Amino acid sequence: MKFTDRLKWTREPEQYRIEEDRIEVTTMPHTDLWQRTYYHFRNDSAPVLQMEIEEPYFSFVVRTDFKESHHRFDQCGIVMYLDAEHWIKASVEYENETSAHLGSVVTDHGYSDWATTEIPASVKTMWYRFSRRQDDFRLECSRDGKTFSQMRIAHMSIAKGRIAFGIYACSPEDSSFTAVFTDMKITECAWAAHDGQQPDAEEK
């Protein structure tokens, strides 16, 4: 079965195209994922396209192309969406003609965080690698699809057994653009087991 045959929509967008190794998603205005923190609003409207898996150790790689993004907060990237209050995403968000934000959000128990770094607006493509080790996850990014840099490590409290992960695209303000996803694949877990300090002994 092809990778794209295993994908299912949560909030299907009005316009999209799915081919064997290429997915195009045209965002709808006022769509987003965010829960409470700082802004105090709750947005749970972005379309996400995911597959389900029970494998406790794996990596997922995808290339994103967002050349058409042009309005503040236009974004596309990877996502693990379990429900409205438990999800992880990583993306590049358009800011203005000179800068963008490469960042990630972890939402657990209904509160989102946001870790970002500013990058030039001239960056119009980005690779991501999403790795799972049971209920812990690592997000990485790459400009060339070969050398990946760690963005963050996160724990997700309800990520036991079967999870869903994939891609998303949205435009939180009054905007729309077409995001393109290619080179999608699932591999053996590229996140090696930790070989340093041993875990603390469990309390009895």
Q: Where residue 10 sits, what CATH number does that domain have?
A: 2.60.120.200
- pLDDT tens for each residue of 122-137: 999 999 999 999 999 9
Total-model pTM? 0.94
Q: Of 2, 23, 8, whose CA–CA distance to 66 is shortest?
A: 23
For residue 155 the two structure tokens come to 């724990």
pLDDT computed for residue 2 by the predictor: 76
Residue 107 lies in a domain: yes
Distance CA 174, CA 31 (A): 9
Question: Could you tell me which residue, 204 or 15, shows the higher pLDDT?
Answer: 15
* Cβ-proximal residues to 147 (8 Å cutoff; 6+ apart), any chain: none
For residue 192, being part of any structural domain is answered with no
Q: Would you say residue 1 has pLDDT above 80?
A: no
> Within a domain: residue 201?
no
Round to whole Å and give the CA distance between 190 and 64.
19
- Residue 175 pLDDT > 80: yes
Q: What percent of the chain has pLDDT over 90?
A: 89
- Is 70 in contact with 92 (CB distance < 8 Å)? no
Helix (H) or strand (E) holding 103: strand 99-108
Could you tell me if residue 28 is inside a domain? yes
Give me the pLDDT at residue 5, please.
87
pLDDT over 80 at 203, yes or no:
no
| Structural domain containing residue 77 | 3-187
Average pLDDT, the chain: 95
Helices (H), 5-128: none
Taking only the tens place, the pLDDT of each residue in 72-93 is 999 999 999 999 999 999 999 9
Pair 179, 17: CB distance under 8 Å: no
Mean pLDDT across the stretch 24-48? 95
Residue 195 placed within a domain: no
Burial class from Cβ neighbours inside 10 Å (0-12, 13-18, 19+) for residue 68 reads middle
- Percent of the chain at pLDDT exceeding 70: 98
**Helix or strand or coil: residue 5?**
helix
- Residue-level pLDDT at 204: 47
CA distances from 138 to 26, 104, 125, 177 (A): 27, 11, 20, 28
pLDDT of residue 38: 86
Residue 3 has pLDDT above 90, yes or no: no
Give me the number of domains the chain comprises: 1
Residues in CB range of 90: below 8 A, 6 or more apart: 77, 78, 79, 103, 104, 105, 128, 130, 139, 141, 151
- pLDDT of amino acid 6: 92
Domain assignment present for residue 50? The answer is yes
Helix H or strand E segment including 133: strand 125-133
Angle 118-178-107 from CA coordinates, rounded to 5°? 50
Could you tell me if residue 111 is inside a domain? Answer: yes
193 occurs within a structural domain: no
Integer Cα distance of 124 and 121 in angstroms? 7
pLDDT (tens digit, 9 = 90+) per residue, 141-171? 999 999 999 999 999 999 999 999 999 999 9
Q: Enter the DSSP assignment of 172.
A: S
The whole-number pLDDT of residue 202 equals 66
